[in-house]
């Protein structure tokens, strides 16, 4: 039977980290500079998605303090979700 701590770490390292990596990938187009072909800021986050996911996964799996791991993953998720929401809100505003 799984303990509560193991279940929490499994939820963090599984779906929470995957959603956070997807948000970082989606928000990467906002903070990466556009290249000469104007597509680098779109392609680079997609190519780096496995590395982002892997980094967050191993951090969430190996950190000794579970609360700190939850807070860091949650902060990264909220930061990128907020940046995406801000961008979408500004894009819908009349000029």
pLDDT tens digits for 10-38? 999 999 999 999 999 999 888 888 777 77
Confidence (pLDDT) at 93: 65
pTM score, whole prediction = 0.87
* Alpha-carbon gap, residue 89 to 60, rounded angstroms: 31
User: Do the Cβ atoms of 28 and 43 come closer than 8 Å?
Assistant: no
Beta carbons within 10 angstroms of residue 16's beta carbon: 19
């Amino acid at each position: 039977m799984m303990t509560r701590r193991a279940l929490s770490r499994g939820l963090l390292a599984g779906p929470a980290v995957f959603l956070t990596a997807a948000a970082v990938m989606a928000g990467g187009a906002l903070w990466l500079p556009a290249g000469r072909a104007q597509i680098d800021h779109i392609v680079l986050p997609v190519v780096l998605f496995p590395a982002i996911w892997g980094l967050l996964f191993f951090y969430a799996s190996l950190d000794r303090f579970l609360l700190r791991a939850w807070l860091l993953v949650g902060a990264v998720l909220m930061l990128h979700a907020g940046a995406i929401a801000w961008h979408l809100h500004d894009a819908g505003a009349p000029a």
